[in-house]
Amino acid sequence: MITLLCAGTGTDVGKTWVGAETLRRLRAAGFTVAARKPVQSFDPLSSEPTDAEVLAKATGQRATDVCPPERNYPLAMAPPIAATLLGTEGWLLCDLAEELEVPEDLDVFWVETVGGPRSPMADDGDSADLARWVQPDAVVLVADAGLGTINAVRLSVLPFAGRTVLVVLNRFDAGDDIHRTNHLWLAGEGFDVLRGPAELADRLAASISGGHP
């Protein structure tokens, strides 16, 4: 089984979409997959599905399997802050890790964090800190493909020093000069850069037999 921790360079870069599309492709190819969103916050007035619902649809799970009901916070702020403002009890990273139920006979286990690497995820740590508990085979860092992504990627990989990081440029357009240049520059600097979920799914499919992405 390959365990992946998904983080983003920031909020709204498309972590959930990349995760759902990658896992959907792997599942369609016959691989067994599962996703977890240990904690999530959201706008209760929005008509859009929650991250857990999107990941559940892609993997064939229930949303309550992806994110425990008690870890849903109807306030669009970092989850620990949302919990405080909602007057509910806080939690630690170890609590989130203990609640991760890993199904048997999986090929890919996907754990999605919140916001950017330093976004609060528990009272004692952030999204990057969760890696110490999950111990993923690789971190999938989702970044926008456009202006600013070089800086965002360089800063966002620092909290994951010593770990394998796969950078996924979301919304990559091969016809866009900025997107192509960003990809070439990051690759030239030694980053492992993939141009969207299709390339990530292909990489994982080819790696499953070896156990390492």
Q: Indicate which residue of 15, 24, 27, 37 is catalytic.
A: 37
Residue 57: active-site member: no
DSSP result, the chain: -EEEEEEESSTTS-HHHHHHHHHHHHHHTT--EEEE-S-EE--TT--SPPHHHHHHHHHT--HHHHS-GGGEESSSS-HHHHHHHHT-----HHHHHHH----SS-SEEEEE--SSTTSEEETTEETTTTHHHH--SEEEEEEESSTTHHHHHHHHHGGGTTS-EEEEEET--TT-HHHHHHHHHHHHTT-EEESSHHHHHHHHHHHTTTT--
**Order of all β-strands in the sheet with 138-144:** 33-36, 108-112, 2-8, 138-144, 165-170, 192-194
Other CB atoms within 10 A of residue 12 CB:
9
Positions marked active-site: 37
